[in-house]
């Protein structure tokens, strides 16, 4: 029988790989789009990239759950952040991303103002924003975890960058101001978040088979 720690390591590594593939799919889809779109716009009804974007989200969901399973030993040492483990936060994030994948926004992904915004858009946007927020919270929890000194530093930087860049992109979207820059900000924030999730999978896979590596593991 395969030891549980090796199963966790294999699952975390597979999850990290699936998440990395999802990031590639998203950026390839974006490169094929001849107009300015935000991330969710790639999966909107009627978009030629919709099927691939749904696949990318499902890969993030599946891979993220595998990484969460492998990261069960990671726990923040600070009050409030240690109320539950980052792995639990990631599970919530993945479930919300699953909802977003199954309820895409309507064509053009209208902002939540005006007559063009629908209940479908509300469900998708709310799920995606909450999922992204949960992922950022998991980064912050990991930034103050026991052990993993290099991963902690990377997680803190990722949490700050994602919060600032995503907020800037979201505000630009709501104001309909320089949406070309706003959409780029959102893609950058999304890429950082997905890359961090993959990195977490690699780090926890390593420590699952070498527990002492938690003191030094960078990836």
Tens digits of pLDDT across the chain (219 residues): 556 677 888 899 999 999 999 999 999 999 988 888 889 899 999 899 999 999 999 999 999 999 999 998 888 988 889 989 999 999 999 999 999 999 999 988 877 766 778 889 999 989 998 999 999 999 999 999 988 888 999 999 999 999 899 888 878 777 777 778 888 888 999 999 999 999 999 988 887 555 555 555 443
Please state, in angstroms and rounded to a whole number, the distance separating the CA atoms of residues 147 and 216: 8
Helices vs. strands in the chain: H and E counts, helices first: 6, 0
Whether the CB-CB separation of 20 and 78 falls below 8 Å is answered with no
pLDDT number for residue 218: 40
pLDDT number for residue 58: 97
Q: Is 138 exposed, middle or buried (0-12, 13-18, 19+ CB in 10 A)?
A: buried
pLDDT number for residue 217: 44
pLDDT number for residue 147: 80
Q: Where do the domains of the chain lie, and which CATH numbers do they carry? A: 4-215 (1.20.1070)
């Amino acid at each position: 029988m395969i030891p549980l720690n090796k199963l966790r390591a294999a699952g975390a590594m597979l999850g990290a790989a699936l998440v990395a593939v999802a990031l590639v799919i998203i950026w390839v889809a974006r490169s094929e789009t001849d107009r300015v779109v935000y991330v969710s716009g790639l999966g909107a009804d009627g978009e030629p990239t919709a099927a691939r974007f749904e696949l990318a989200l499902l890969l993030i969901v599946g891979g993220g759950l595998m990484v969460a399973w492998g990261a069960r030993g990671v726990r923040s040492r600070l009050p409030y952040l240690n109320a539950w483990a980052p792995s639990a936060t990631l599970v919530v994030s993945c479930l919300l991303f699953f909802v977003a994948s199954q309820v895409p926004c309507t064509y053009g992904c209208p902002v939540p103002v005006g007559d063009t915004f629908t209940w479908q858009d509300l469900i998708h946007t709310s799920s995606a924003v909450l999922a992204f927020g949960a992922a950022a919270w998991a980064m912050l929890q990991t930034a103050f975890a026991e052990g993993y000194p290099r991963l902690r530093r990377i997680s803190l930087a990722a949490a700050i960058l994602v919060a600032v860049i995503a907020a800037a992109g979201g505000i630009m979207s709501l104001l309909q101001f320089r949406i070309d820059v706003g959409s780029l900000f959102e893609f950058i924030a999304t890429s950082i978040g997905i890359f961090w999730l993959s990195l977490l999978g690699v780090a926890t896979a390593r420590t699952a088979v070498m527990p002492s590596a938690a003191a030094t593991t960078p990836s």
